[in-house]
Amino acid sequence: MIHFAWPWLFLALPFPWFIRRFTSAVNSAEQAALKVPFLDDFSIAQSQQVTQSNKPWALWLAIFAWCLLVLACTRPQWLGEPIEQGVSGRDLMLAVDLSGSMEERDFIVNNQAVDRLTATKAVATEFLERRIGDRLGLILFGTNAYLQTPLTFDRKTVQVLLNEAFITLAGESTAIGDAIGLAVKRLQPQKADSRVLILLTDGANTAGKVSPIKAAELAAQYQLKIYTIGIGADEMTVRSFFGSRKVNPSRDLDEKTLTAIAEKTGGRYFRAKNTQELQKIYQLLDELEPVEKDTQFFRPRTELFFWPLAFGLILASLISLMRLRLS
């Protein structure tokens, strides 16, 4: 909808009429720099000039230009749809593993076999959508850990950047300790009632400068609660030239370390062997870390004043040019 920041400026619309109505016109003959006895000879030219300058369309053009300028002064704005604004005071960071092992296709989404990262995106996106009231951040890690999204109330941006991530974007290996350390660094300076990190991985710590346990101890000092999720099926059938055989695609998952990380920080460790279990885990996280019920609303504003201002100035310039030509 259209909104005017300074609507009282519409009172300026009749100002030109008041000036014309209550002030006397200037007699150009009285102010002439040179007086000659044969002024009557100029009466014909003067009458033509008056006729040309008093054309009705020129008057209406000036009125329209004045209205546009007054409209610009009222500062028109376009108000967008109300957006729920978070007030919970919680900072929630999501750390997602992008190492090479995440390309294992042992998950099912919409009756199709997909890799672990695709399943993570499908479930985590719904989880992020529900986190109204939290400031959200995104860390992507592999051989290195990167802050993809700083803390923000803009859930849509976090979802988009998560969906744009791809396997090995941060390297082939897994630096769990560095991901936790980066989360501590980004969350520690923030004033928040609660700091939460959800760390999702399918392997063990094979890279990085900080060990996961050491990083978890540091997180505990700064009251950062960590929920760890081990992702990957524990059994799948592999077909080859010699026939079919069952393997454990999650043999490299270090559940002991992930459990220790969660316990040291007051969180919990979860095991997700399929998409359904992963969805249940995120639903349980909603219960463990409930969102704020009282919400505020924010309406984005788009300034529109420059449109009437530009057209008003163009019309005023045209009127001035016409007066110069007639003078």
- Residues 242, 110 within the same domain: yes
Strands 76-79 and 269-272: unpaired
Q: Give pLDDT, residue 268.
A: 94
Instruction: Residue 313: give the domain boundaries.
Output: 2-10+41-80+299-326
* 310 located within any domain: yes
Question: Tell me: the pLDDT tens digits for 93-119?
Answer: 999 999 998 998 888 888 888 999 999
Gap between the Cα atoms of 212 and 222, Å rounded: 15
More confident: 327 or 175 = 175
Q: Give pLDDT, residue 234.
A: 80
Q: Coil, strand or helix: which one is 257?
A: helix
* 28 located within any domain: no
| Short-list 130, 226, 136, 241, CA closest to 184 | 226
DSSP state of 39: G
> What CATH number is given to the structural domain containing 214?
3.40.50.410
- Residues 56, 90 within the same domain: no
- Residues 164, 287 within the same domain: yes
Q: Give pLDDT, residue 249.
A: 67
pLDDT band at 51 (very low <50, low <70, confident <90, very high): very low
DSSP state of 10: G
Which of 34-43, 175-184, 301-310 is the most confident on average? 175-184
* 19 located within any domain: no
Gap between the Cα atoms of 164 and 227, Å rounded: 24
Q: Coil, strand or helix: which one is 235?
A: coil
* 27 located within any domain: no
* 98 located within any domain: yes
The number of domains in the chain is: 2
* 259 located within any domain: yes
- Residues 133, 64 within the same domain: no
Please state the rounded mean pLDDT for residues 197-218.
93
Q: Give pLDDT, residue 52.
A: 46
- Residues 272, 312 within the same domain: no
- Residues 67, 115 within the same domain: no
- Residues 268, 122 within the same domain: yes
- Residues 183, 227 within the same domain: yes
- Residues 114, 201 within the same domain: yes
- Residues 148, 202 within the same domain: yes
* 308 located within any domain: yes
Question: Tell me: the pLDDT tens digits for 228-272?
Answer: 999 988 866 556 555 566 666 678 899 999 999 999 999 999 999
* 140 located within any domain: yes
- Residues 108, 126 within the same domain: yes
Percent of the chain past pLDDT 70, that is, above it, reads: 81
Question: Is 0.85 topped by the overall pTM?
Answer: no
Q: Give pLDDT, residue 50.
A: 46
More confident: 87 or 209 = 209
Question: Tell me: the pLDDT tens digits for 116-169?
Answer: 999 999 999 999 998 887 889 999 999 999 999 999 988 999 999 999 999 999
- Residues 183, 135 within the same domain: yes
More confident: 135 or 45 = 135
Q: Give pLDDT, residue 62.
A: 85
CA angle 277, 282, 283 (to 5 degrees): 95
Gap between the Cα atoms of 262 and 226, Å rounded: 5
Among 40-49, 67-76, 286-295, which stretch is predicted with the lowest mean pLDDT?
40-49
List, in order, residues 6 or more apart from 57 with CB less than 8 Å away. Answer: none
Q: In b/e form, how buried is each residue of 103-122, taking b as 16+ CB within 10 angstroms?
A: ebebbeeeeeebbbbbbbbb
